[in-house]
Structure 1
Amino acid sequence: MKQNITCPCGEHITGQDEDDLVTKTQQHLKENHPGHDYSRDEILFMAY
């Protein structure tokens, strides 16, 4: 299960599970990178 992702801006995001990781990543994108929306599959592809 993938629970970590590092945004190109340097922010490290950790979730309790894949669903939590996707939610936290999408929230980070919304707050810090408006217009950069990624799907669940795209986020999990970049996650580790």
Structure 2
Amino acid sequence: MKTRLTCPCGEAMKGTDEDELVEKVREHLKENHPGHDYSRDEILFMAF
């Protein structure tokens, strides 16, 4: 299970599971990178 992702801007995100990680990444994108929207599969592909 992938629970961590580091955005190219340097922000590190961690979730207790994949669902929480995807939610946190989408919130980060919405707040910090408007117009950048990724699917769940794309987010998990970049996660570790």
Q: Do the structures match in fold with TM over 0.5?
A: yes
Gaps of 5+ in 1: none
Q: Name segments (4+ residues, structure 1) moved above 6 Å.
A: none
Gaps of 5+ in 2: none
Identity across the alignment (%): 73
2 CA distance for matches of 1:38 and 1:8? Answer: 14
Q: TM-score, normalised by structure 1?
A: 0.99
Q: TM-score, normalised by structure 2?
A: 0.99
Q: What is the alpha-carbon root mean square deviation over aligned residues?
A: 0.2
Aligned-pair CA distance for 1:31: 0.2
